Structure 1
Amino acid sequence: MKYKCVIFDFDGTLANTENVIFRVYNEIAKKYGYKEITHDYIDELKHQPIHNIIKDLGVPYLKVFSLIKKGQKLMKEYHKSMDPYEEDLKETLKILKSKLSYMGIISSNSKKNINTFLKNEKIDTMDFIISSPLFSKEIKINKLKKKLKLKDEDILYVGDEVRDIVSAKKANIDIASVTYGYNTKEYLSSENPTYFIDDLKELFNIIEK
């Protein structure tokens, strides 16, 4: 099997935004009276479904999406704190792109934040950047699939959370789950991703199998 298109998640997959999200969330929590978090608590969250996290933090579900928008705006102030997980990310992505027809990002973060990160890292290999709701990434994936005239087996999604696996399965595409992001490998295993990877360079062999 050789994949023609690789779609990346952003937070927890390409960019290490954990400290930024920690600071942004606590700013919002303090302002609106929600439960603030510690770094130890973040480690606990990596084992839990996102619905449980929202409930535990005391955030009304109907407020989640508006708070995400507020958080995305605040993230712009901390863009210099968003580091790539790999020091040679630019080169890794350049090699990957040479083996593919298409490569891009579908993320629940904003296009502005993603573009700022890519510009800072001098990465220019993405064919598309698509912002998606927190859930239901499969809708964006299916639209892209139709636009690019790709088959299910042509696409590989790369993400770090259980919700990425769920969306990939709903879109009938394979997924490589990274083991260093916002969910633990143990928790990711509960949804049986197609592949596990500890490093993005492992994709070199996967896309050509």
Structure 2
Amino acid sequence: MTKVIIFDFDGTLADTINILLSITNRLSAEFGFKSATKEELAQLSNLNSWQILRYSGISIFKVPLLIRKLKAELRSEIPNIKLFSGIKEVLLELKKLGFQLGIITSNSRENVLALLEINGLQDSFTFIYSGSTFGKNKVIDRWLKREHINPEEVIYVGDEIRDIDAAKKTGIKIIAVGWGFNSLEALAAHNPDFLIERPQELIEIMSNLG
């Protein structure tokens, strides 16, 4: 029986894609990689994280500092960021159904809390963990051990190929969502347990699994 639903943040709950693209492009000259247009973003949506890094030309050694700067600059944009349509209502309904909700993200905890508070959702999540962009499975593993949670009681909801990979490495089910960064085709190729196109489908799936 599934008791806990872990959500990714960017691209799953929060529609940050265009803002992140704008910030990344501003930082491209400083970090020595090429900027991307919205048209190129559509092409990148079919690639995994490592393929995107190779495409951009950024040095792997500069990535940690770039990510820290992205998070810092994103903080001032929080008032301009919207939740995806229908997400708030779905989260409230899942909470009402008795599921424990949490967030594991590569964004900063401060950014997540700020947006949740704006939307009146700060009390809807039991935990919020921030971890490495490329080590989400390690964050999930640490959480499972700390809380003594059986992986079979957990499901992860994310919008990227790396979310699918992280869930599989930790032995939990994954719901991939098609409204975020990676395309439906790219997500389907990595065989998530569920692949959905509308937030409301989360309630249907969880009603059957709960």
TM-score, length of structure 1 as denominator length:
0.94
Equivalent residue for 1:164?
A: 163
The CA distance in 2 between the partners of 1:142 and 1:199, in whole Å, is 28
From 106, 115, 138, the equivalent of 2:113 is 115
Q: How does 1:46-125 map to 2 (within 5 A)?
A: 46-86=45-85, 88-124=86-122, 125=124
Q: How does 1:9-48 map to 2 (within 5 A)?
A: 9-48=8-47
Equivalent residue for 2:204?
A: 205
Deviation at 1:66? 1.2
Deviation at 1:192? 0.2
Deviation at 1:101? 4.3
CA 1:31–1:14 in 2, change beyond 3 Å: closer, same or farther? same
- Whether contact under 8 Å (2:90, 2:202) holds in the other structure is no
TM-score, length of structure 2 as denominator length:
0.94
Choose 195-204 or 20-29, whichever is displaced more: 195-204
Q: What SS is found at the alignment partner of 1:167?
A: helix
Deviation at 1:90? 2.6
Tell me which amino acid in the other structure corresponds to 1:70. K
Could you list the runs of 5+ residues in structure 1 that have no partner in the other structure?
Answer: none
Q: What SS is found at the alignment partner of 1:72?
A: helix
The CA distance in 1 between the partners of 2:4 and 2:98, in whole Å, is 6
RMSD across aligned C-alpha pairs, in angstroms?
1.3
Per-residue Cα deviation, 1:108-154 (whole angstroms, up to 9, x for no partner): 11111111111111112011110010112111112222233221110
The CA distance in 2 between the partners of 1:12 and 1:101, in whole Å, is 21
Verify: 1:3 aligned to 2:10, yes or no.
Answer: no
Q: What SS is found at the alignment partner of 1:16?
A: coil
- Whether contact under 8 Å (1:90, 1:122) holds in the other structure is no
The CA distance in 1 between the partners of 2:202 and 2:135, in whole Å, is 24
Q: What SS is found at the alignment partner of 2:132?
A: coil
Tell me which amino acid in the other structure corresponds to 1:9. D
Could you list the runs of 5+ residues in structure 2 that have no partner in the other structure?
Answer: none
- Whether contact under 8 Å (2:137, 2:170) holds in the other structure is yes
Deviation at 1:92? 1.7
- Whether contact under 8 Å (2:90, 2:200) holds in the other structure is yes
